[in-house]
Chain A
Amino acid sequence: MGAVTALALLIPAIVAALVAIFGWRPFTAWLAPVSGLVIIGVGVVLAVHVLDVGPLAAFGGQLRVDALSALMIILIGAVATITTTYAVAYLRTELATGATTPKRARIYGVLVQLTIAAMLVVVTADNLGVVWVAVETTTVATVLLVGHRRDRNSVEASWKYLVLGSIGIATALMGTVLVYFVSRHSGGDPSNALNWSSLVERAPRLDPDALRVSIGLVVLGYGTKAGLAPVHSWLPDVYSQAPAPVAALMAGVVSAMSMYALLRFKVVADLALGAGFVRSLLVAAALFSLVAAASLMVTQRDYKRLLAYSSVEHMGLIALAAAIGSPLAMSAALLHMIGNGLAKSVAFSATGEILFLTGTTRIDGVRGLLRRQPFVGGVFALSLVALLGLPPFSLLASEVAIVRAGLSEGLGWVIAIAITVMLVIFTAVVVHALDMLTGGEVPPVSAPDVHITSLTGRAPFVVGLVAAAAIGVSIWPIERLLHAAALVVAR
């Protein structure tokens, strides 16, 4: 089993090396989706193993895969497959229109694989310091990916992303170091003081006051990386300027990694400090995120930023579910992460196509999308339907579960505010989407009329939506895994 986890980590690294050596050629381009599928396979194998036998340690105790990690590996694999498959078509169009050079495409391929490798380390590492290093690596890799287009706006976006990201991640490091300090001074073997498994054992013996400061820093640090308000300001700029597949990858799963790390720390904090502290922080962050997202979506003019704020909203919802903390809320949070990952990656990839079609990211520059390009318009519409939490997609099930969990845990007023704000967001998104999808006169097309007709080009969109709908209709395939993962992080 250890070999299997090692395989999961090595595959993206090997693909990165191959792309580095041979450049972005047809056969190397298709390696990335294959590696995504292999990751899903590894995730499933590990999940089956973990559900039967229980968490497994590998690589000399450094790596530890439990139900939550297996679920996350599957999510990473799924989103990676979707985004890298679309990336093949995306880069082919960009190379065709001269928007990017083969050298930059090569760097792109390498960096995406490095990000995926780093994410796999995040979810499998047992040492929280290694988790931090892996999250930092994803930041560094994605900063360069955001700068892929090399125009004024993407430079500005990368600068803001790196500066704000560095401060956020440094805060998290400070928190991690203090947690390490507190756990070393609570007796027990100092060598694995920072390992999550040992931290959970010694949690009751940790000194509450000292731990509270460190957990506060950790929540703020990883909150910044996850895009929770009020430290979310980098997110809209980055998601709107990054190339569509990169934005899809980041919105789908990179922000989920920070939330994963946050959940790991929350387990320790809840055992040591009781649920109250982290719950209040997360509830505040969730409400901030929802209100900020709603306020900024109402009169939004850019559809990529609209989706970015939808990410802030969904991260807020996941934080709310985590704040509630009961097993039902936790499984809802994880299900929401998966649903959001799938729907968001399809949505952002669709914006890539819309950008090629209309040449503008402004909402009022796009009219009659369903008529002009039925496939892209349809996919974009369906992904928005999923993000709005309408049936048959899984986000509806998770949102209902969050509401029920919140009510049963006595957080009625928070749920009430959340629902009203989400109503505002619902109307805002519907209004903007209808402008784009229907609408009368069609502005002149400035960009060349290049759009994906090949089956492989369309496959990722369809697969992503079908997966989200399938989970929405019946969560049978991942139900046991989801439940086990929820128990890992639930109170």
Chain B
Amino acid sequence: MTQTGFVQLLDLAAGVVLVTSFTALWLRRLSTVVRVVALQGVAVGLVALVIGIHSHETELVAISPIVVILRGIVLPGMINRAIRSGAEHREVESLINIPASLLAASGLTLLAYATTRAVVALSPSPQVQAIPIGIAVGLIGVLMVATRRKAVLQIIGVLMLDNGIALVTFLATSGVPLAVELGIAFDVLLAMFILQLLTTRIRTKFGGTDLDQLRELHD
């Protein structure tokens, strides 16, 4: 694995992650958004693989397939099951229109680059220079959660946030200690499972997953 090859592959994977987060904001149909996020999960796994191979960290290489399976297949599968169980139409509804959310996303990306300048300056290796992308993806995830009306889209937003953090973890410190890594993965899985469970409960109790109905608990 030559150095330039590694840098190109790394930038490709990181680029894919960022682009997928923008397209997730841009798309209208729910099922394609899920597929895009699945692709993003796979890209994060690839980043882990590439870094693992390059810096000969067997532990990281071993983890990357788990990441790919978890973030690429298992979690999106859960989200799909949450969508399928609902009969309502599969359109993306949002508080702010698409161009505005894309504009906001780019603003957040700029913010991510601005705030992590000091972090990148600490040790400017190719992985570290890609950290702002991870944080940008995280912020875009938060934006998606904050602006989407449907429960399922909020789950996707949370998943994107976790993908962003996973990316930051692999780029910054080529993975946290194994115990912590597994703990985080397990917790994300659990959180996703409960979110999906709650979505079905909301559908049964409120008749639909539109979150504007959830306004009964107020002061």
Contacts and interface: CB of A to CB of B under 8 A. Distances in A.
B142 A207 contact: no
A174 B160 CA distance: 13
Give the residue among B115, B135, B184, B217 with the most A Cβ atoms within 10 A: B217
B168 interface: yes
A159 B202 contact: yes
B72 interface: no
Given A160-B214, A163-B154, A170 B165 contact: yes
Given A140-B194, A144-B194, A155-B202, A296 B122 contact: no
A173 B154 CA distance: 19
Given A133-B187, A167-B158, A185-B123, A162 B198 contact: yes
B76 to A, nearest CB: 17
A167 B131 CA distance: 19
A254 interface: no
Interface in B172-195: 172-173, 176-177, 179-180, 183-184, 186-187, 190-191, 194-195
A177 B165 contact: yes
B219 A162 contact: no
B122 A207 contact: yes
B100 interface: no
A431 B177 CA distance: 53
Contacts of B168: 174, 177-178
Nearest to B118: A209
B89 interface: no
Q: Contact residue range for chain B? A: 35 or more
Contacts, number: 138
A195 to B, nearest CB: 10
A83 interface: no
A212 interface: yes
Contacts of A62: 179
Interface stretch (A99-107, A236-244, A454-462): A236-244
A177 B154 CA distance: 24
A181 interface: yes
B205 A210 contact: no
How many residues of A sit at the interface, in one of the four size bands? 35 or more
Contacts of B195: 162-163, 166
Interface in B137-177: 138, 142, 145, 151, 154, 158, 161-162, 164-165, 168-169, 172-173, 176-177
A152 B121 CA distance: 50
B172 A137 contact: no
Nearest to A234: B217
Interface string A120-142: 00000001011011001100100
Nearest to B115: A213
Nearest to B206: A152
A104 to B, nearest CB: 14
28 contacts: A129-B183, A133-B183, A133-B184, A133-B187, A137-B187, A140-B187, A140-B190, A152-B205, A152-B206, A155-B198, A157-B217, A159-B198, A162-B191, A163-B145, A163-B158, A163-B195, A170-B161, A173-B184, A174-B138, A180-B176, A181-B122, A181-B128, A185-B122, A207-B122, A212-B118, A213-B118, A213-B119, A237-B217
Interface of B: 115-116, 118-119, 121-123, 128, 131, 135, 138, 142, 145, 151, 154, 158, 161-162, 164-165, 168-169, 172-173, 176-177, 179-180, 183-184, 186-187, 190-191, 194-195, 198, 201-202, 205-206, 211, 214, 216-217, 219
List the 8 shortest-distance A-B pairs measured between CB atoms, nearest first. A129-B180, A133-B183, A209-B118, A181-B172, A237-B217, A136-B187, A156-B214, A210-B119
Interface of A: 62, 127, 129-130, 132-133, 136-137, 140, 143-144, 147, 150-153, 155-160, 162-163, 166-167, 170, 173-174, 177-178, 180-182, 184-185, 191, 193-194, 207, 209-210, 212-214, 236-237, 240-241, 296, 300-302, 305
